[in-house]
Every structure is written in structure tokens, then in C-alpha cells.
A and B are shown apart, each in its own frame.
Chain A
């Protein structure tokens, strides 16, 4: 399996979501309430995946630092969503989506600072990110 298969599958899943959510919002459900509902609906499915995969919950045995990082990802993700909705309420979709599309560049920057021994930052990586972000901006504006 290619190294990028899971990232591409993730992009497909995250790509379908706004199409569905937009329809839900058009049918009158406030976006923030819909997002909350989506998050709650994901929980039983993720638990089902764990049961199917015969995985047991080992969270309490993880190192404290790992627990903090994993719980932190959930918070960061939701805070990102909240600021995204807030931004959309004050600025046009084109501007917000364009700025938001730059998050891979921020990720590279943060990786260079916080994951120095873990993440290899290459010229190809930076050029690839710039091309993808430029493509996103062209598609979304």
C-alpha cells in the first residue's frame, strides 16, 4: 500500500463532509449544533471499529504525556472548528477557506520547531505544500 493511501482516504472522508454538512445547514440546523451532533455520532462508530478490531481500551495505562497529547488533539481540532465558524460569520467564505488552506504550511513550520528529530523537512516537501496550497486557493476563490 502506498505511503499516502491513508492520507488520501482521509482527504476523501473530510472532503465529502462539507457537502453533507452544507445540506444539513440548508435544512435549518445551526452549523455549530450540527458539528456537535456529528462529533457525538462519530463516537459509537469509532468504538464499533475498536470492537471489530478486537482492541481493548488501554488509555489509563498510557504515559501521562501521551494521554495529554491525545486529549489535546481533540481539543485543538474542536477549537479549530469553532474559530472556523466564527471566521465565516465575519468574513467571506473565499477568504476564510483560502487562509485556512494554508494550514499545511503552518504544520510544516510547527514541525520544524516542535518535531525537529522526527520530521524531515525537505525542499520538495515545501514546494509540494506551496503548489497544493496555491491549487486550493485557486479552486476555492
Chain B
């Protein structure tokens, strides 16, 4: 299977994820839903990790790397996922996923702020389009 097809399948499952959140959190607490939904995902990832990870390639002292992935878990799978569940419950999956797509802007901004990376024309144009798209969304009547 080509990388392009795999990327499409990945997008499809993320889209389906948003739809299921909407159907799931209609009558239940989004925080509990975010918590409970993490278990089957974790089980699947553990199973795949045990099957495919080349353990000899794991560094002998991986603590710093584990620390980074711990922070990743706290930011994305705890905070961000919880907020995403609330957002889908309140404004729906389509609008939530559009706002979520703007996350790619954050990496260049962090690079500019912390690593003094240059502000490129690409980021300026892409960022402007995203802001324009979001302002179109926010101008909708609720």
C-alpha cells in the first residue's frame, strides 16, 4: 500500500473519531468520555508496540526521551484531547476539526520564539489563510 493511501486512511480514522465523539458525548461528561476512550487506544498501541518495536534499537538510557513523550502525553492526550471532546460536544466535529487543523502553525511559532528561526513567507501566507478561514467560521450565526 502506498504512503499516500495510508495517509488517506489515517485522515479517515481521525475524521471518524470526531464523528464518534459527537455521537458519544451527546449525553455524557466529556471528561469521563476522554478518560474512558483512552483505554482501548492504549491497549491497541501496546499490542502493536510489542509486535513491531525493535527493542535492541531502544537506547540503554532513554529517560530524557521518555520524559519528552510524557510531556507529549500530558499536553496532547490529556489536556488537548479533553478540550477537543468539550469542543466537539459544543460546536460539533466539523468546526472543531477545522480549528484543530491550525495546530501546524504552532511549531513554526515555537521555532521563531525559542530557536530564533526566521519568519518565512510560507508561514505568513499559510497563517493568513488559516486566520481568514477561522474568521469565516466565527462569523457564522450560532
Contacts and interface: CB of A to CB of B under 8 A. Distances in A.
A135 B127 contact: yes
A99 B91 contact: no
Contacts of A76: 13-14, 16-17, 20
Interface residues of B, number: 111
**Contact count band on A:** 35 or more
B112 interface: no
A29 B60 CA distance: 10
A46 B31 contact: yes
Contact of B72 (A21, A72, A92): A21
Nearest to B111: A19
A12 B106 contact: yes
B11 A125 contact: no
Contacts of A24: 64-69, 72
A12 B129 CA distance: 18
B86 A6 contact: yes
Interface string B10-25: 1111111111111111
Nearest to A13: B80
Q: Which of A2, A35, A91, A115 has the most CB of B within 10 A?
A: A35
5 contacts: A12-B103, A19-B110, A66-B23, A106-B11, A115-B92
Task: State the 6 A-B residue pairs at the shortest beta-carbon distance, nearest first.
Answer: A91-B3, A13-B80, A15-B106, A131-B133, A24-B68, A135-B129
Interface of A: 2-4, 6-21, 23-25, 27-30, 32-43, 45-47, 49-50, 53, 55, 57-59, 62-63, 66, 69-84, 86-92, 95-97, 99-104, 106-111, 114-115, 118-122, 124-125, 127-140
